[in-house]
Structure 1
Amino acid sequence: MSDPTSALRIAPQPLSYVDLLAPRDASDITLVVIHCTELPDLATARIYGERALYDDGTGASGHWYIDRDGSIAEYVPATRTAHHVRGHNTQSVGIELVNTGRFPDWYDSRRQTMDEAYTPAQIEALCQLLAHLRATLPNLREIAGHEDLDTDRVAASDDPALTVARKRDPGPLFPWPDVLARVPLTRIGV
C-alpha cells in the first residue's frame, strides 16, 4: 500500500516577517487548530497575513493555507510560532481553509450564517496534510477548531447592545466526523 501523504505538495511561500517569529522545536507542538480565512480568496488572505500588527513587526497568520482547489501553501514553517489563536500559539500549528465565512461583515449580528461548504479537494488535502503532520511532529495528538478555543463574544457591529462570537471558524459546515475518522487526533475544547 502506498503512503497517502506521498503525493502531498506544499508550496513554500514564507511571509516577509517569518524570521521574526519565535523559533521552537517540532517536539513542542501538541495541537493543530483548524481555521477558515473568512476572506474571499487566497490572495486576500496573503494580504491580511503580511500586515504587521505587533510591535515586533509580525502579524496574524496560520502556518498552512488550503485553497478551494486543494492546493497547499506554507506561509510559516512548523518550527516558528505563528499568531493564529490566542493563548495556544506556542504549542500549536494553524491550518487555514479558504472560505468566505462571514466576510465582509464578520461581526454584524444579521450576517452570522456561514454557508459556504468546504470543497472535497480542500478536505482531502487537509486530511493528507494532517497525516503528514502526525508523521513529522512527534507529539501532535490534539486538534481543535478556532471556535473551540476562542469563545469570546464581542459587540455586534450593527448594534453594540448585542454580542456575537468573535470566532466561528471553521464553522458549522466543517465535516468534523469525516476528518476525525481519517486522522487519529483527539478534538479538544468542545
Structure 2
Amino acid sequence: MKRITIHCSATPVTMALDANVIRRWHLARGWSDIGYHWVINRDGRIEAGRSMQRTGAHVRGHNHHNIGVCLVGGVSKQFSPENNFTEAQWDALAQLIVVLSHCYNIPLANIKGHRDYDAAKACPCFDVGDFIYARFHPVIRQPEINPS
C-alpha cells in the first residue's frame, strides 16, 4: 500500500449506518464487496471493510495500492455537503492513520481526500490536508517574554 484516501458515506447524522449497511449497498450495485477497507462510525468505532489483501473500490482509476477509509456522515438533512463528524470520529481517524501509515510506511503527504482525485466531488466534505497538518505537525510556539 502506498496511499490512503479518506471518504464519507454521504449520509446525514440521523441515519444509522455501519460497514454492513455500506456493504449491502455496494453489493446491490454489483460490486464484489464493500469498496472501503475501513469504516469509522459516528461513535468512533473502527470497522473492517474489504480485506486489506484486496484492491479497494473507492477512487476510480486510483484504487491500486490505495487504502480506503470511510467516515459515516458528511451531508446535511438536505443532503448537501457538511462537515458534521464527531470528535470520536476525528480521534479514530487520527489513530487509524497512525497505524496504517506506520504498518505500510505511507508518508502523510500520501493521505488525501476523495475530492483531491476528482474536483467534481465534495467527499469527504473537509480538507484532508488541513486535518493532517492540524493533527500531525507540531505547533511552533513563540518563546514567552518575561519582562523583569
TM-score of the superposed pair, with normalisation by structure 2: 0.75
In the alignment of these two chains, the number of paired residues is: 130
Q: Percent identity?
A: 32
> Is the Cα–Cα contact under 8 Å of residues 10 and 81 in structure 2 kept in the other structure?
no
Q: Which amino acid aligns with 1:182?
A: R
- Mapped partners of 1:121, 1:171: distance in 2: 17
Residues 115 and 104 of structure 1, relative CA distance in 2, 3 Å threshold: closer
- Mapped partners of 1:64, 1:38: distance in 2: 15
The structure showing larger relative contact order (alpha-carbon pairs under 8 Å, at least 6 residues apart) is 2
Q: Is residue 49 of structure 1 aligned with residue 49 of structure 2?
A: no
SS in 2 for 1:65: strand
Which whole-Å deviations, capped at 9, do the CAs of 1:148-189 have from their partners, x for residues lacking one?
1023xxxxxxxxxxxxx3x211114x57434333347xxxxx
> Is the Cα–Cα contact under 8 Å of residues 33 and 50 in structure 2 kept in the other structure?
no
Q: Which amino acid aligns with 1:91?
A: H
The answer for the alignment partner of 1:169 in structure 2 is: 123
Structure 1: which 4+ aligned runs deviate by more than 4 Å?
102-105
Match of 2:9 among 37, 44, 66: 37
The answer for the alignment partner of 2:49 in structure 1 is: 75
Q: Is residue 181 of structure 1 aligned with residue 101 of structure 2?
A: no
SS in 2 for 1:144: strand
Question: How far 1:61 moved relative to its partner?
Answer: 1.3
Residues 89 and 175 of structure 1, relative CA distance in 2, 3 Å threshold: closer
Alignment of 1:9-24 (within 5 A): none
Question: Structure 1 stretches of 5 or more lacking a match?
Answer: 1-28, 106-112, 152-164, 185-190
The answer for the alignment partner of 2:113 in structure 1 is: 145
